Each structure stands twice: as structure tokens, then as C-alpha cells.
């Protein structure tokens, strides 16, 4: 029998409240949020998007990689962090329809010249990038593939580069002793393994933040 799972870290109501504390978002952001809700497209929450934008701004990152474009919602938050200075975002996605829609949003947002959309399997594309190519990486893709992305993305970070990975707490089920439907066992196990390898990686210093469904924020140590 399944035990009732308590949301250990973050309640929906608290996340919603934090979103209400943000300044009113542009109409384009609101339109994309409505589309994502209507079509059940996974996008970051507004507090997570705001944090990404803030982190890009304060870090001074200018060479940004995003794994998982969807309709470009988080990409626009990253681009907002680049406002007023030079920079480039390379964003990867396997879903051609969603990536095509994202391109239209980038045009409407006036940031298309800063964003390069690459369509295809990120696990095949990432090995083509030079080592140390990026100073900021955001991963928001299939959670079952996070172990692959950890191996592929880490070499692409330059010294002092930042990597952010979304949805790493998976409703708090990664906590040992949590109970959930058997169909989630493989996903939970892989996320636990990912978090263990990430936090034990000697090349990275990592913090796990209970924002949204969990963010892992890592910085590559200088060699």
C-alpha cells in the first residue's frame, strides 16, 4: 500500500506565492505560460525563470548553452539576463514543432539574433562542441537522461562556468524512504544516482535549491 507522500520541500502554494511577488511579466511571457498550461508543455516556473535571468546577469555569462528548448520560455528568461550586453545562447531540442514555435517567440521578443536553435538529439550534438565552450549551461530535458548530460556537459564548461539542472528533486521523491507508484522507480533511481555523482564530482561545487521542482546549481572549479 502506498503511503501518503508529504511534499518535503516546496508546496505549489508557496511557489505560486513567490511568482506573485515577481514584477508583472511581459505579455509574451504570460502568453507562453498560458500556452504551456493549455498544452501541458513542461516549462520552468516563473520564479525559476527569474532566478535564471538573475544568475546570468550577476555572473556575467555570455556563452550560454540550453539543453531542452520546448517553446523557448526559459530561453527568453536567459536572454533577459543578457539584456544590454553581447552574448549568445545555443539551445537544443529534439521536438521540431516546439522548437519552430520557439523561434517565432524569439523573433517577437526581439532576441532572435542572440539565439541559435539546434534541432536534434542533444546527446549526439553535444560531443561536437569544443571543451570549455560555454560559461553557463542550463539543462531542462528528459530526467532519465540526466546522467548522460552530466558526462557530456561538464567538459563544455569553462573554468568558473555555471551549470543549472532543473527538476532534480522530482516532487521530493528522491528523498530516501519516499514511496511512490512503481512506474516512477527507474526515474527516481536515476535521479538519485545523478545527484550523487553530481555532488561528488571533484570538478564541480554544487548546491541543491528547493526552487520549483528542485534546481542543482554547480560551478566548475578553476583548474
- Confidence (pLDDT) at 11: 64
Please name the helix (run of DSSP H) or strand (run of DSSP E) that holds residue 83, with its range, or none.
Answer: none
Whether the CB-CB separation of 153 and 71 falls below 8 Å is answered with no
pLDDT for 191 beyond 70: yes
Q: 132: pLDDT confidence band, cut at 50, 70 and 90?
A: very high
- Confidence (pLDDT) at 27: 96
pLDDT for 9 beyond 60: no
- Confidence (pLDDT) at 54: 97
pLDDT tens-digit series, residues 33-91: 999 999 999 999 999 999 999 999 999 999 999 999 999 999 999 999 999 999 999 99
Residues 6+ apart with CB under 8 A from 41: 35, 70, 71, 98
How many CB atoms are closer than 10 A to CB 39? Answer: 9
As a residue count, the chain comes to: 223
pLDDT for 223 beyond 80: no
Its pTM stands at 0.92
- Confidence (pLDDT) at 5: 47
- Residue 167 gets the label, from left (phi > 0), alpha (psi -120 to 50) or beta, of left
Amino acid at each position: 500500500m502506498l503511503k501518503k507522500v508529504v511534499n518535503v520541500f516546496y508546496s505549489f502554494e508557496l511557489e505560486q506565492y513567490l511568482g506573485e511577488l515577481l514584477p508583472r511579466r511581459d505579455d509574451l511571457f504570460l502568453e507562453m505560460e498560458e500556452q504551456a498550461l493549455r498544452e501541458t508543455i513542461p516549462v520552468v516556473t516563473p520564479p525559476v525563470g527569474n532566478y535564471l535571468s538573475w544568475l546570468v546577469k550577476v555572473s556575467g555569462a555570455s556563452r550560454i548553452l540550453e539543453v531542452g528548448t520546448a517553446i523557448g520560455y526559459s530561453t527568453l528568461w536567459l536572454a533577459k539576463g543578457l539584456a544590454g550586453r553581447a552574448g549568445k545562447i545555443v539551445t537544443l531540442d529534439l521536438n521540431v514543432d516546439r522548437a519552430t514555435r520557439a523561434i517565432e517567440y524569439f523573433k517577437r521578443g526581439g532576441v532572435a539574433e542572440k539565439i541559435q536553435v539546434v534541432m536534434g538529439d542533444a546527446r549526439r550534438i553535444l560531443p561536437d562542441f569544443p571543451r570549455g565552450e560555454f560559461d553557463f549551461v542550463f539543462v531542462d530535458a528528459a530526467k532519465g537522461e540526466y546522467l548522460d548530460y552530466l558526462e557530456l556537459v561538464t567538459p563544455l564548461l569553462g573554468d568558473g562556468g555555471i551549470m543549472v539542472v532543473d527538476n532534480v528533486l522530482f516532487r521530493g521523491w528522491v528523498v530516501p524512504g519516499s514511496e511512490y507508484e512503481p512506474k516512477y522507480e527507474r526515474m527516481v533511481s536515476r535521479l538519485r544516482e545523478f545527484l550523487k555523482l553530481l555532488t561528488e564530482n571533484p570538478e564541480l561545487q554544487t548546491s541543491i535549491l528547493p526552487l520549483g521542482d528542485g534546481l542543482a546549481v554547480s560551478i566548475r572549479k578553476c583548474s
